[in-house]
Amino acid sequence: MAFPSQLGFQDAASPVMEELLHFALMIVFMISTLVLYFIIALVTSSLTNKFILDSQEVEIMWTVLPAIILILIALPSLRILYLMDEINDPHLTIKAMGHQWYWGYEYTDYESLEFDSYMIPTQDLAPGQFRLLEADHRMITPVESPIRVLVSAEDVLHSWAVPSLGVKMDAVPGRLNQTAFITSRPGVFYGQCSEICGANHSFMPIVVEAVPLQQFEDWSTLMLQDA
């Protein structure tokens, strides 16, 4: 998760987010290096050339060169977009329903495994827990398994987003959207509603906990017994 004064992205916890980070950082580094070189060259150079002040060739170059850069950026972007939309044989399907102002989760592969997830108030937080990010019920998923998330809302627009997983999907009333992710390592990953949805928009945390398969099966068995 993010920490104070962090300048970079959150650590990737899914293959798609790793692709996004590597691609984005590469493009930012290349463009920043090029622009920095131009600035240093302009500041340090005291030479002038009358042919550069009015030149058709220079104008063509600074028009064509950005177009080529945009094409080089677009081609890898299409690959990543298709990877983000690819959902093949998910091992588990979870329905995330947005409410004002909490999330409800339903594990559709089980008969009666569903619960609501509310933010833990500040005064009830245990030592080490994070303000505005902790939920009383976490969404538990098995690690290294394709997970499909069906996202919808019951009242107004919401958005189910977990940055470290590279997932962000709008929750629209009357519409069922879907997204997918694979957690590459065990851990707890935090997100929040990313669509302004009313007075308590800031108090809709999303907590995804990725655990080994055996631990997930033990948790699901316990939840079904309690239901």
pTM of the model: 0.81
Q: For residue 148, give the nearest of 211, 90, 97 by alpha carbon.
A: 90
Asked if residue 219 and residue 189 are part of one domain, the reply reads yes
Asked if residue 97 and residue 75 are part of one domain, the reply reads no
* 85, 115, 147 - which closes a domain: 85
Confidence class for position 198, pLDDT limits 50, 70, 90: confident
At residue 218's C-alpha, the angle toward residues 215 and 224, to 5°, is 140
When divided into structural domains, the chain yields a total of: 2
Residue 59 lies in a domain: yes
How confident is the model over 54-105, as pLDDT tens digits?
Answer: 677 778 888 998 898 888 888 888 888 888 888 888 999 999 999 999 999 9
pLDDT at 50 over 70: no
* 74 residue type, one letter: A
| CA distances (Å), origin 31, targets 10, 73, 191 | 21, 11, 30
Calpha distance 117→164 (Å, rounded): 20
Asked if residue 52 and residue 152 are part of one domain, the reply reads no
With a pLDDT cut of 90, the percent of the chain lying above it is 54
Full domain range(s) for residue 171: 92-226
Residue 6 lies in a domain: no
Q: What is the CATH number for 140?
A: 2.60.40.420
> And the tokens for 203?
């108090």
Asked if residue 221 and residue 134 are part of one domain, the reply reads yes
Residue 8 lies in a domain: no
Asked if residue 107 and residue 69 are part of one domain, the reply reads no
Q: Count other Cβ atoms within 10 Å, centred on residue 153.
A: 25
Q: What is the CATH number for 19?
A: 1.10.287.90
pLDDT at 33 over 80: yes
- Average model confidence (pLDDT) for the chain? 88
More confident residue, 202 or 54: 202
Calpha distance 149→52 (Å, rounded): 56
How confident is the model over 89-99, as pLDDT tens digits?
Answer: 899 999 999 99
Asked if residue 163 and residue 69 are part of one domain, the reply reads no
What lies within 8 Å, CB to CB, of 219 at 6+ separation is: 140, 211
Calpha distance 84→107 (Å, rounded): 22
Mean pLDDT of all residues in 24-52: 81
Among 1-5, 137-141, 209-213, the least confident range? 1-5
